[in-house]
Amino acid sequence: MKLLALLTCLLGSQNYTTVANHGPAGTYCAFPGACRMADGRIIVVFYNGTGHVTRTDQRKGGGAIAYTISGDEGRTWSEPAMLLDTEEDDRDPSISLLRDGRLMLSYFRLGTVPVLTGDGVYIAEIVAGVETRDGGSSAARTNPGTFILPLSQKTFNSRHVRKLQHDAGTSSPVRDFGNGLLMLGSYHIDQPYVIRSADNGKTWQVFDIPNGGKHLDAETDIIELVQSRELTTGESCGEPPGSAGVGSVADAPSLGKSQTGNPSPAPARFYAVMRGHNCNGHYSTSNDGKNWTVAEDIGFPLHCPVLHRVQLDVEKGRGEKSTEPGQVAIVPKHPTAILLAHRVPATALHYSLDECKTWKGPIQIDSCGGAYPCFVTCRDGSVLVIYYTEGTSSHIRCRRFTVSKKGISWQELKKN
């Protein structure tokens, strides 16, 4: 695997690692999504083109979706390669490893010429890569949910790409809540939505989140609340794949005090957060993913929010072993925190120790203002946050930190 040189830059006492600063479609890299694959490696997918929107008269096919892979927990990254490139502007990708081993890409398309027009929200199931040998006379296939490099055949075909919603956008991953229940946050103009499947992705339905008359114009993400699931279903909520966390002493500067969100009606199983236009971010709750409460003010501004659950105060090394390929070991009933990363101010995060009732932060991740962050839990329980910078030479960065009840502690990403 050809690896990019490790690029580490200092932000005062902080640092970041460059994930990608170019790709097969141009030098503009933005809107990353990430997950751990079945073989244990981390994949980052991202928008690649000539700018924030790549018109089809600037590049045939407009912007594309590229990817890069790390086999050492985010320290180094492979040379970016093409994942998806259609006749329109393919953008804002996210990627998920589902419980059945499938990798699922979510994204949306724009028509760019003669004017910008929304095409819709798409998902694509990523089939196993194929590495040809002996001039193509034989091939070795990987397991589901795994890539090998280089990919030597077209990754997608018409059977694997599906349109879920017309004239809408998404910037979130497909969330797998078990028992065939999948959800994807989406949006259009001033309205947030949840696209829901109860049969593991065979069929999908779109449900509104009531906006309460507010202009909630963009990005929506969803998480399951642990205590509420136990109340509504009688089940203990298993952590999502790769959700283990490890605690440490806080040393990151906080930009604000604890912020309290409006308490949600109990019991509620699902919590959705969404961006507001010229107003704070908002949230909504639901027991079934179909009927959502009227969105309420979360208490602080945010753009492009993403949610992620981690375990707290896990002993060092507790997350090193795993019972399943690609997954991080977790400890049932262990205390957890919910992370909420976003843009505004700059690139920042909040975290909650009480299932989204109150939030601590914001804590600055980076001074750049691109954001569209995503998370991956590392094998030692620390967390990798991936985001982009914006600007003509926009690139993808990542940072690593640990979480405890005392706060966030940043770690340096060193080569082995």
With b for 16 or more beta-carbon neighbours within 10 A and e for fewer, the 168-185 pattern comes to bbbbbbbbbbeeebbbbb
Distance between CA atoms of 385 and 261, rounded to whole angstroms? Answer: 23
**pLDDT of the residue at 5:** 29
Single pTM value for the model: 0.84
Which residue type does 50 have? T
Cβ contacts of residue 236 below 8 Å, gap of 6+? 230, 332, 333
**pLDDT of the residue at 218:** 83
With b for 16 or more beta-carbon neighbours within 10 A and e for fewer, the 52-74 pattern comes to bbbbbebbeebbbbbbbbbeebb
For the chain, residues with pLDDT lower than 50 are: 1-13, 130-142, 149-153, 231-263, 315-325, 330
**pLDDT of the residue at 217:** 86
Spacing of C-alpha 23 from chain mean position:
20
Q: CATH fold of 8-411, please?
A: Neuraminidase (2.120.10)
**pLDDT of the residue at 165:** 98
Q: In 300-353, where does DSSP find H-type helix?
A: none
